[in-house]
Amino acid sequence: MSEDHVSRPSRSASTNPLRVSFEFFPPKTAELEPVLWEAIQRLAPLEPDFVTVTYGAGGSTRAHTLGSLDRIVQETGLHAAGHLTCVGATREDVNNVVRSYQKAGVRHIVALRGDPQGGVGERYVPHPEGYATTADLIRGIRAIGDFEITVSAYPEKHPESPSIDADIDVLKAKIDAGATRAITQFFFDNELYFRYMDRALARGVTIPILPGILPVQNFHQTANFAVKTGATIPDWLAKRFEGLDDDPATRRLIAASVAAEQVFDLLDHGISDFHFYTMNRAELTFAICHLLGIRPKLARRAA
């Protein structure tokens, strides 16, 4: 979405059914676990296409990720996907995580290289006994079992990529290795996503590329994260949150309005799949799904 997006010719609206998916992160402490499960229980009745659980830097949340995935599979029946990175780990360590996912009944992996061990902006150095690239990681996963594999995509290019074309080359390598879906880094200007999709399609990329939607829970936190990941915060977005540092109720209303505008503009341009970065908070994501017409299963039956 952008302030001048109305000038773009409208694409044909999609006739495909709306589908949503949600990302959660594993709790680092027992005290935070109820927050995660409150969000999952709130969103599960919307019957998402799948849900994902992230994997901390260098596998720092490995046990928590696996525990959360196992509980999701056992208690909710949701189609769960586990994130997996290869940075700072041997191939055998990574392969053991894949086997652990397999044992837990997880058949969908979000395969990511992971940030450099020194942090974003530092030079990435593969582990001498590890997978060098995400494409290598995907081939390793494929050798272990028949997994659905989702990867990342970057409408504003990955911070380490020299150009969008080079970034799409990396995406194509991941597809050639066996990736079947991509989810984008979050963005707030839909024109960035449209241009990226046009360029990817022109390069022969045909797998689904889901837009990653980030409902803004905390504007300053989101802005800081955007700087680290190379995502743009439009001036109009910053202005919408001006003067609201001490007004959380109004911030939530603005955040819901911004995200709703974004997804409806994407919907008007034929997009029917949306991936929400929930930040383990369900309220905004639930509200946006409600606006899209996605309602809890029991509510639909009673209607």
254-278 pLDDT tens trace? 999 999 999 999 999 999 999 999 9
pLDDT at 127: 85
- Better-scored residue on pLDDT, 125 or 81: 81
SS (H, E, C) 87-144: CCCCHHHHHHHHHHHHHCCCCEEEEECCCCCCCCCCCCCCCCCCCCCHHHHHHHHHHH
- Bridging pattern class, strands 209-210 and 108-112: unpaired
Per-residue pLDDT at 3 exceeds 60: no
Per-residue pLDDT at 232 exceeds 70: yes
β-pair partners for 212: 275
Pick from 111-115, 149-153, 262-266, 271-275: least confident: 111-115
Per-residue pLDDT at 300 exceeds 50: no
Top-level class of domain 5-302: alpha beta
Which positions are annotated as active-site residues?
23
pLDDT at 10: 39
For 19, the enclosing helix (H) or strand (E) is strand 19-24
**How is residue 292 annotated by DSSP?**
T
DSSP for 210-249 reads EPEE---S-HHHHHHHHHHHT----HHHHHHTTT-TT-HH
Enumerate residues 6+ apart whose C-beta is below 8 A from 117: 57, 58, 87, 88, 125
Sheet with 50-53, edge to edge strand ranges: 209-210, 181-184, 148-153, 108-112, 80-85, 50-53, 19-24, 273-277, 212-213
The dihedral sign for the CA sequence 56, 61, 66, 69: negative
- Better-scored residue on pLDDT, 274 or 227: 274
pLDDT at 194: 98
pLDDT at 9: 35
Read off the pLDDT band of 298 (50, 70, 90).
Answer: low
Read off the pLDDT band of 114 (50, 70, 90).
Answer: confident
Residue-averaged pLDDT of the chain: 89
β-pair partners for 111: 84
278-292 pLDDT tens trace? 999 999 999 999 999
List % helix, strand, coil for the chain (3-state, nearest 5). 45, 15, 40
Q: What are phi and psi of 40, to 5 degrees?
A: -65, -45
Read off the pLDDT band of 178 (50, 70, 90).
Answer: very high
| Cα–Cα nearest to 211, from 23, 83, 3, 7 | 23
Per-residue pLDDT at 199 exceeds 80: yes
Read off the pLDDT band of 61 (50, 70, 90).
Answer: low
What are the structural domain ranges in the chain? 5-302
CB 88 within 8 A of CB 119: no
Using a pLDDT cut of 70, give the percent of the chain over it: 88
